[in-house]
């Protein structure tokens, strides 16, 4: 295989890997980022990073929270939850990470309040 052919294959693979992003559409939703202290004990090089995606619906904006753990540049998802009314880090903890209050109550969803707790699998779960 010559270098031209290899370069063509490499670019083709790169294009194939990037193609799905073309299916995304522009949105008026806002993206907010926060770095709350979720770990009970200090972890050198580790920090929680939470993305809040806020829908652009004035009457009842939905908010989707994506919780990740970044350890020395390696990012690991810890859960995604819709908590449109409240998302609050609590003082109680499970498996070394603080619990989170998630409230997604509303006229359509009804009373939907849960506590997000860290599972043994390294992900938050609604309980």
Residue 68 lies in a domain: yes
Indicate if the pLDDT at residue 7 is higher than 50: no
Residue 33 lies in a domain: yes
CB 105 within 8 A of CB 113: yes
pLDDT single digits (tens) 34-77: 999 999 998 899 999 999 999 887 777 889 999 999 999 899 99
pLDDT single digits (tens) 89-121: 999 999 999 999 999 987 777 889 999 999 999
Smallest CA-to-CA distance from 68 within 77, 57, 59 is with: 77
Smallest CA-to-CA distance from 102 within 115, 90, 93, 89 is with: 115
Where b means 16+ CB within 10 Å and e means fewer, 77-88 reads ebbebebbeebe
Note down the domain range covering 30. 26-126
Residue 7 lies in a domain: no
Residue 9 lies in a domain: no
Q: How many domains does the chain have?
A: 1
Residue 115 lies in a domain: yes
Residue 18 lies in a domain: no
Taking residue 65's Cβ as centre, other Cβ atoms within 10 Å add up to 21
For tokens 């270098």, the residue is: 3
pLDDT band at 21 (very low <50, low <70, confident <90, very high): low
- Which residue would you say has higher pLDDT here, 81 or 1? 81
This prediction's pTM: 0.76
């Amino acid at each position: 295989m010559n270098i031209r052919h290899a370069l063509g294959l490499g670019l083709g693979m790169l294009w194939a890997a990037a193609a799905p992003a073309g299916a995304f559409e522009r949105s008026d939703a806002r993206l907010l980022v926060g770095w709350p202290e979720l770990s009970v004990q200090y972890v050198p090089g580790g920090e929680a990073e939470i993305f809040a995606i806020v829908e652009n619906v004035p009457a009842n904006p939905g908010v989707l929270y994506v919780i990740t753990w970044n350890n020395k540049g390696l990012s690991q998802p810890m859960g995604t939850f819709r908590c449109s009314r409240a998302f609050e880090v609590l003082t109680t903890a499970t498996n070394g990470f603080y619990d989170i209050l998630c409230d997604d109550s509303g006229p359509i969803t009804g009373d939907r309040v849960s506590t997000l707790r860290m599972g043994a699998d390294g992900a938050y779960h609604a309980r």
